[in-house]
Amino acid sequence: MARVQGLFLDDLAAAVMCVMMAFALASSVEAATAAVSSEKSLATSSSDAYEKIETYGFPRGILPPTVTGYNLEANGRFVLYLEGDCRVLIEEKYPLEYGKVITGVLSYGQLEELQGIRVKAFFVWWDITAISRNSNDLLFVIGLLSAQFPLTNFDDPPVCERKKLDVLLLAGGGGVSGTIW
Q: What is the pLDDT of residues 47-78, one digit of tens each?
A: 689 999 999 999 999 999 899 999 999 999 99
DSSP state of 152: G
Beta-strand relationship, 67-73 and 41-45: antiparallel
Question: Are residues 31 and 65 part of one domain?
Answer: no
Neighbours of 102 (CB within 10 A): 21
Judge whether 74 lies within some domain: yes
CA distance 23 to 20: 5
User: 19 and 60 share a domain?
Assistant: no
| Structural domain boundaries, residue 1 | 1-38
CATH value at residue 146: 2.30.240
Distance between CA 110 and CA 52 in Å, rounded? 13
Predicted pLDDT of residue 75: 96
Do 26 and 65 reside in the same domain of the chain?
Answer: no
Q: What is the pLDDT of residues 66-119, one digit of tens each?
A: 999 999 999 999 999 999 999 998 888 889 999 999 999 999 999 999 999 999
DSSP state of 74: T
Alpha carbon 162 to its chain centroid, in Å, reads 19
Distance between CA atoms of 169 and 129, rounded to whole angstroms? 41
